């Protein structure tokens, strides 16, 4: 008797990614739509990114990394950002997050300082959660492939990893969720989110 071989399900893969995200961010129990539509959540993640950056700055005697961290250049102009499609923005942020997750993981293997290691572990979890979440949004067929080569820089200071993460969350990620809110949050509640600072 010839059986049918099960085909991989894109919906199942997205469900697994979303479940992983919810487990990482268990204190919020946030669905992707809630994260996008409830401005308080992204503001919470911005505050947490600032707190992590401040926390690692208070760690004592953090040596420079022996192997430099490869970090994305996350600066952007608002006019350039407006001209991109949501899918282009999503893929660009995924590339940035992929570098950040890799940099945090590599730095963890080099840091013996308990304070620095704890902050790096927290940053890794947060960045990886966003990385998984953004893979559940897509406007094009197929899965995201890590084939991009974003503009990057090498840094030996651990604090640079936290600075880059905070800039990414406060900048591209916040603007991206604002753009998504205009699509996902209109039904039933209007366009209720305030734009990020500088958005007009």
User: What CATH number corresponds to the domain at position 49?
Assistant: 1.20.1250.10
Query: Containing domain of residue 172, as a range?
Result: 34-139+148-183
| DSSP bridge pairs for 154 | 70
Three-state secondary-structure class, residue 169: helix
pLDDT at 150: 63
Given this model, what pLDDT does residue 126 score? 94
Q: Which residue has the tokens 């268990």?
A: 26
Backbone angles phi, psi at 103, to 5 degrees: -65, -40
Q: Any idea which of 128-137, 139-148, 161-170 has the lowest mean pLDDT?
A: 139-148
d(CA 35, CA 169): 13
Contact call for residues 171 and 76 (beta carbons, < 8 A): yes
With contact defined as beta carbons under 8 Å apart, do 57 and 159 qualify?
yes
Contact 167, 49 (CB under 8 A): no
Write down the pLDDT at residue 23.
Answer: 45
Give the number of domains in the chain: 1
The answer to the question of residue 197 being in a domain is no
Examine residue 25 and state whether it is found in any structural domain, yes or no.
Answer: no
Q: Determine, yes or no, domain membership for 100.
A: yes
Q: CB–CB of 96/72 below 8 Å?
A: yes
Buried b (16+ CB within 10 A) or exposed e, 29-49: ebebeebbbbbebbebbbeeb
Q: What is the mean pLDDT of residues 18-23?
A: 44
User: In this structure, is residue 73 part of a structural domain?
Assistant: yes
Residue 122 contacts residue 29 (beta carbons within 8 Å): no
The yes-or-no verdict on residue 13 having pLDDT over 80 is no
Residue 68 located in a structural domain: yes
* pLDDT at residue number 138: 64
Q: Indicate whether 48 belongs to any domain.
A: yes
* Closest to 29 in 3D by CA, of 41, 37, 14, 11: 41
Residue 123 has pLDDT above 90, yes or no: yes
Asked if residue 198 belongs to a domain, the reply is no
With respect to residue 124, please indicate whether it lies within any of the assigned structural domains.
yes
DSSP helix/strand/coil, 70: strand
pLDDT mean across residues, the chain = 78
3-class SS shares of the chain: helix, strand, coil, % to 5: 60, 5, 40
Q: How many CB atoms lie within 10 A of CB 24?
A: 16
Tell me the pLDDT band of 69, cut-offs 50, 70 and 90. Answer: very high
């Amino acid at each position: 008797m010839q059986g049918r071989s099960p085909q991989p399900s894109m919906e199942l893969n997205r469900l697994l990614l979303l479940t992983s995200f919810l487990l990482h961010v268990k204190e919020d129990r946030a669905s992707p739509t809630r994260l996008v539509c409830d401005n308080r959540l992204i503001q919470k993640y911005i505050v947490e990114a600032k707190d992590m950056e401040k926390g690692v700055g208070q760690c004592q005697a953090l040596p420079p990394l022996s192997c430099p961290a490869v970090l994305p250049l996350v600066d952007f102009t608002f006019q350039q950002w407006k001209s991109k499609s949501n899918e282009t923005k999503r893929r660009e942020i995924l590339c940035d997050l992929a570098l950040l997750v890799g940099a945090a993981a590599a730095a963890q293997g080099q840091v013996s300082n308990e304070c620095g290691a704890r902050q790096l572990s927290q940053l890794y979890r947060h960045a990886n959660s966003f990385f998984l979440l953004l893979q559940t949004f897509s406007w094009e067929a197929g899965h995201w492939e890590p084939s991009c080569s974003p503009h990057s820089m090498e840094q030996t200071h651990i604090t640079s990893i936290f600075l880059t993460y905070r800039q990414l969350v406060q900048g591209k990620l916040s603007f991206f969720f604002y753009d998504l809110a205009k699509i996902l949050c209109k039904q039933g509640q209007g366009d209720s989110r305030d734009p990020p600072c500088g958005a007009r």
